[in-house]
Amino acid sequence: MKDGNTRFTKEEKSWMMYDWANSAHSIVVVTILPIFFMSLFEDNTGAMATWGSVTSASKFIVALMAPLLGTLGDFKNMKKRLLALFMAIGAMACLGLSGMPFAPKWQLILALYALSNIGFAGANIFYDGFLPEVTTHERMDRVSAWGFGLGYIGGSTIPFVIFLVLYMTVSAGMAMAISFGLTGLWWAVFSLPLLRNVKQTHYVERRRGMMADSFRQMGKTVRDIASRRKMLFFLIAYFFYIDGVNTIIFMSTAYGSTLHIDATQMMMALLMVQILAFPFALLYGYLAGKFGTSRMIWVGILVYTGICIFGFFVRETWHFWFLAAMVATSQGGIQALSRSLFGKMIPQKERANEFFGFFEIFGKFSAIMGPWLFGTATVVAARIIRARQPGLSPFDLDRSAAPYGVLSVLLIFIIGSLFFMVYHRIEKREEAEKN
């Protein structure tokens, strides 16, 4: 394949289709399932705390497994098998959720939700690990951006629109049941192109004592990352700024609800995000080819900094729509370019999964910190405001305290910017030395 060829290869297109496949989980399960779960309880505060704890626990499990899984995936014929295994776990969990609206058991809902998260995140380790194998260094930004773009326009938008149509035409329970089942089927069916057409071309030969070798290799990878200052500072920067991105994603509807934004308006705003994110993800990939990947990640960080500042002043419905539009401009772009930038830094393609395992660690552990900071800042602000204005109504208290939660995320982006600045300087110095 020549890098000047603008057409995607069969392997590239098959790889990108997996973003189309698994993105249905990101929008249907992450957005709709919490609403259903909360409806089962009178104590919304306790239910939300339980939901948050299970979310953090599932991400923590994957973060702990990621290095070992990544190392195992680098052995011959293991990468695709492990991707298929975790995809099947996630898809089957979604199919299981389809029965919950008719016979709701909150403990089973939480268990299936956790399994779907584990399947989603576990499969992504191997999906990301295939990126350096399906394309070249020069095409990586574009292929990664198109993957995210297809995920938004297809995997997220189409199932979400189907849910909205069902929600308006049949009962809410039936709409949720069909949507959860569709998500599992969508995920499994559209994974087939990758499973059929993408081959593991770089690998380590399997041998006796493979598991013990995996643990030894993990230690080697840690030492390799620590010795590569550019990679190390990028991962630390990524840990913080992607935490800010994930916090905005996971807390958006909770924030809107606290501000008493109409639920239907929030759902429509989320749909707009999925539609707008597609062209903007592709735009980020195109501009990365013109101005450089690092510069475009800087743009994404600056946009999210603005989101945190503007989010502090959100009070009206149109404010929420404007905030959603800002998110749409950079959400897919910053994630896609972060993935491709890290892929370019991996020294050996046969160790791609090994390194992406640690990439997932930084992404998953960061997803635990941000929501906690958001919630804590909101609670502390509410206590201070209540002490100063004891007669304030619950409605006004919510609207006064919640903005401090989104403002607290600004701290995460500032720290991420500082580390990314160090990474950028190292990158520039290395480029100067080459020239």
Query: Per-residue pLDDT tens for 249-284?
Result: 767 766 777 777 777 788 788 888 878 888 888 899
Cα(324)–Cα(243) distance, rounded to whole angstroms? 18
pLDDT digits (tens, 9 = 90+) for 28-81: 887 778 778 877 876 554 566 677 678 778 877 887 787 777 777 777 888 899
Q: CB neighbours (10 Å) of residue 313?
A: 12
**Which pLDDT score is estimated for 335?**
86
- Per DSSP (E only), the strands in 264-358 are none
**Which pLDDT score is estimated for 386?**
84
Q: CB neighbours (10 Å) of residue 63?
A: 20
**Which pLDDT score is estimated for 158?**
86
Residue 149 has which token pair?
């773009």
pTM: 0.74
Whether the predicted pLDDT of 94 surpasses 90: yes
Whether the predicted pLDDT of 1 surpasses 50: no
Residues in CB range of 431: below 8 A, 6 or more apart: none
Beta bridge partners of 204: 75
Domain ranges of the chain: 11-200+212-434
**Which pLDDT score is estimated for 350?**
61
Residues in CB range of 151: below 8 A, 6 or more apart: 19, 20, 22, 23, 26, 332
Torsion of CA 314, 256, 244, 137, to 10 degrees: -100
Over residues 348-361, the mean pLDDT reads: 68
User: What's the one-letter identity of residue 33?
Assistant: L
Q: Cα–Cα–Cα angle for 194, 195, 201, nearest 5°?
A: 85
Coil, helix or strand at residue 129:
helix
**Which pLDDT score is estimated for 85?**
96
**Which pLDDT score is estimated for 218?**
66
Coil, helix or strand at residue 204:
strand
Cα(184)–Cα(316) distance, rounded to whole angstroms? 36
DSSP 9: P
User: What's the one-letter identity of residue 45?
Assistant: T
Coil, helix or strand at residue 392:
coil
Per-residue pLDDT band for 414 (boundaries 50, 70, 90) equals: very high
Mean pLDDT of the chain: 83
User: What's the one-letter identity of residue 162?
Assistant: I
Q: Cα–Cα–Cα angle for 236, 238, 243, nearest 5°?
A: 110
Determine contact, residues 360/68, Cβ cutoff 8 Å.
Answer: no
Whether the predicted pLDDT of 367 surpasses 70: no
Cα(244)–Cα(303) distance, rounded to whole angstroms? 12
Who has greater pLDDT, 367 or 322?
Answer: 322
pLDDT digits (tens, 9 = 90+) for 298-347: 999 999 999 999 989 888 889 989 998 999 899 888 988 998 888 888 77
Cα(200)–Cα(363) distance, rounded to whole angstroms? 24
Whether the predicted pLDDT of 384 surpasses 60: yes
Whether the CA torsion 19, 81, 117, 248 is positive or negative: it is negative
Please choose, from the candidates 218, 180, 201, 181, the residue with its C-alpha nearest in 3D space to the C-alpha of residue 1. Answer: 201
Whether the predicted pLDDT of 217 surpasses 70: no
DSSP 349: G
Who has greater pLDDT, 86 or 159?
Answer: 86
Whether the predicted pLDDT of 3 surpasses 60: no
Q: Report percent pLDDT > 70 for the chain.
A: 88
pLDDT digits (tens, 9 = 90+) for 172-212: 889 889 999 999 999 999 999 999 999 888 776 766 665 66
Per-residue pLDDT band for 149 (boundaries 50, 70, 90) equals: confident
Torsion of CA 57, 63, 64, 67, to 10 degrees: 170
- Specify the fold of 11-200+212-434: Growth Hormone; Chain: A; (1.20.1250)
Determine contact, residues 355/343, Cβ cutoff 8 Å.
Answer: no
Per-residue pLDDT band for 2 (boundaries 50, 70, 90) equals: very low
**Which pLDDT score is estimated for 44?**
54
Ranges 8-17, 226-235, 350-359, 402-411: which has the least confidence: 350-359
Residues in CB range of 224: below 8 A, 6 or more apart: 347
Instruction: Output the DSSP codes for 397-427.
Output: HHHHHHHHHHHHHHHHHHHHHHHHHHHHHHH
Whether the CA torsion 70, 144, 269, 379 is positive or negative: it is positive
Instruction: Output the DSSP codes for 41-110.
Output: -S-HHHHHHHHHHHHHHHHHHHHHHHHHHHHHHTBTTTHHHHHHHHHHHHHHHHHHHTTTTTS--HHHHH
